[in-house]
Copies of this chain bind each other. A is one copy, B any other.
Amino acid sequence: MKTKIVCVLILITLSSTTFAKAKPEDLIKYRQSAMMFMRWNVGTIKKQVVKKPQSYNQQQVSDAANAIAAVANTNLHALFAPGTESGKGWKTTIAKPELFNNNDDVKQHLSVLRIEANKLAKIANSGDINLIKPQFENLFQACRGCHKKYRAKP
Contacts and interface: CB of A to CB of B under 8 A. Distances in A.
A56 interface: no
A113 B97 CA distance: 38
A47 B19 CA distance: 8
Number of this chain's copies in the complex = 2
A51 B14 CA distance: 11
Contacts of A33: 32-34, 36-37, 40
B30 A37 contact: yes
17 contacts: A19-B47, A22-B43, A30-B37, A30-B39, A32-B33, A32-B90, A34-B37, A40-B79, A41-B74, A63-B70, A63-B73, A63-B74, A63-B75, A66-B70, A66-B73, A67-B73, A70-B70
Interface of A: 18-19, 22, 29-30, 32-34, 36-37, 39-41, 43, 47, 51-52, 60, 63-64, 66-67, 69-71, 73-75, 79, 90-91
Given A34-B40, A41-B74, A67-B74, 14 more contacts: A18-B51, A29-B36, A30-B37, A32-B33, A33-B33, A33-B36, A37-B71, A60-B75, A63-B74, A64-B74, A66-B70, A67-B73, A69-B70, A90-B91
